[in-house]
Structure 1
């Protein structure tokens, strides 16, 4: 790189002593007369040097810095069908009592601290008996789980789903309901028996009521069970068009959205696909 001293000297023809002082070498040139006052010629010379310096610096173009490259899109290790097959196989193992209940090793924990790559998103109920990691015989870092009573999805939940698909590369979304769901039962009571729920409980069941009314037209005899299955199917259907990222990946074959229902008695998950 050309030193600042040579550059300024070539541009302006400034005297070497002044340049040496500007670079931190030597002493300041003597611009004072014997009487201790600046002469007019010295002042004019100094003003000319400053003007030339300002002009030269103004002409210097800043260095162009290349912007950092955009982060690469996550690469999918499994297809949507392969991910679905993993869940079905894991549930079959769980249902026959052979699930692996070993806790993750500290090596696995340390490895996951560097990042995550879940192979499926599971939208489940908050019911304590329906933990997806256990039901599908999965371990830490394999499932991206969103749980709300009744398996409903609000705006925050949708944002979490889009994040898992767009930034983590998850190729599968499963909306998982379960038998004897209390949240759906409460929605049935509100819709059919005019039960009153207060505050947040009322808000919790409101998204489920349309599924209750639909199920009542076809399966009034076992309304709660029919509403449970209708609810997760409706949510899965809405997710397919709820966000452009999801819709695009579905169209490209890189994402699948399915609904399913877990049987509390048998441990079996029945998928709709």
Structure 2
């Protein structure tokens, strides 16, 4: 029975990932549905939600997950915080998505040119201090940037740091008992980068 449930959850996660990929392809082609929601749909959503994916993304106004994945109301459970950082509050939201909403797919979504990651690089490489609350965000990101080569160009540094930060968030999730139990049960955790200039979402391997 456990194997069957695990296989079913993995299948649902794979299907969810494919839906995100296809939605982003529609968005890039300018064929996004962006459908209006009728009263009947709202009435159904009032009864409860069954999102097929949970997205941990950045607060950046240029990166709205519902639009770039061409998703409708009720399809995505979204947690947004600058730099897609991990905190107790974020982990609580992710735990809720797993335990109560049973989403089979979790995606950590970074984006090119992330300001929070740039601030973390400035602190790491030039010891620049930021305003206290921003520094709290920076301190969450810096540990994941150990491998960034200071000899690279600023653009290359930021590009590599954005990806490193996504992987760092994934690492932190997988370090928790909840993350480990979820993946053992068949849930899928993926990292991705939204390329603002092309509107393409690149999933990490």
* TM-score, scaled relative to structure 2: 0.90
User: Which of residues 153, 157, 161 is equivalent to 1:227?
Assistant: 161
User: Which of residues 34, 37, 43 is equivalent to 1:104?
Assistant: 37
Q: C-alpha distance in 2, partners of 1:161/1:94?
A: 26
Contact 1:78/1:119 (<8 A) preserved? no
Contact 2:86/2:172 (<8 A) preserved? no
Gaps of 5+ in 2: 1-7
What is aligned with 1:87?
Answer: 20
Residue 215 of structure 1 deviates from its aligned partner by 2.2
Q: How does 1:55-66 map to 2 (within 5 A)?
A: none
Q: C-alpha distance in 1, partners of 2:114/2:195?
A: 10
| Higher Cα radius of gyration | 1
Residue 237 of structure 1 deviates from its aligned partner by 2.2
Contact 1:212/1:223 (<8 A) preserved? no
Q: C-alpha distance in 2, partners of 1:145/1:175?
A: 10
Residue 100 of structure 1 deviates from its aligned partner by 1.1
Q: C-alpha distance in 2, partners of 1:120/1:235?
A: 17
* 1:155 matches 2:88: yes
Q: Describe the superposition over 1:114-138 as per-residue Cα deviations: whole angstroms up to 9, x where unpaired.
A: 1001100000000000000001000
Q: Which has the higher strand share?
A: 2
Q: C-alpha distance in 1, partners of 2:164/2:79?
A: 19
Q: C-alpha distance in 1, partners of 2:82/2:173?
A: 18
* 1:266 matches 2:201: no
Residue 200 of structure 1 deviates from its aligned partner by 0.4
Segments of 4+ moved more than 4 angstroms: 75-78
Gaps of 5+ in 1: 1-74
Q: C-alpha distance in 2, partners of 1:258/1:236?
A: 8
Aligned-residue CA RMSD (Å): 1.8
* TM-score, scaled relative to structure 1: 0.68
2:59 is paired with a residue whose SS is: coil
What is aligned with 1:179?
Answer: 112
2:34 is paired with a residue whose SS is: coil
Q: 1:105 to 1:77 in 2, by over 3 A?
A: farther
Residue 78 of structure 1 deviates from its aligned partner by 6.0
Count of aligned positions: 196
Q: How does 1:117-266 map to 2 (within 5 A)?
A: 117-216=50-149, 220-221=152-153, 222-244=156-178, 246-253=179-186, 255-266=187-198
Residue 77 of structure 1 deviates from its aligned partner by 11
Residue 148 of structure 1 deviates from its aligned partner by 0.5
Higher relative contact order (CA 8 A, sep 6+): 2
Contact 1:79/1:171 (<8 A) preserved? yes
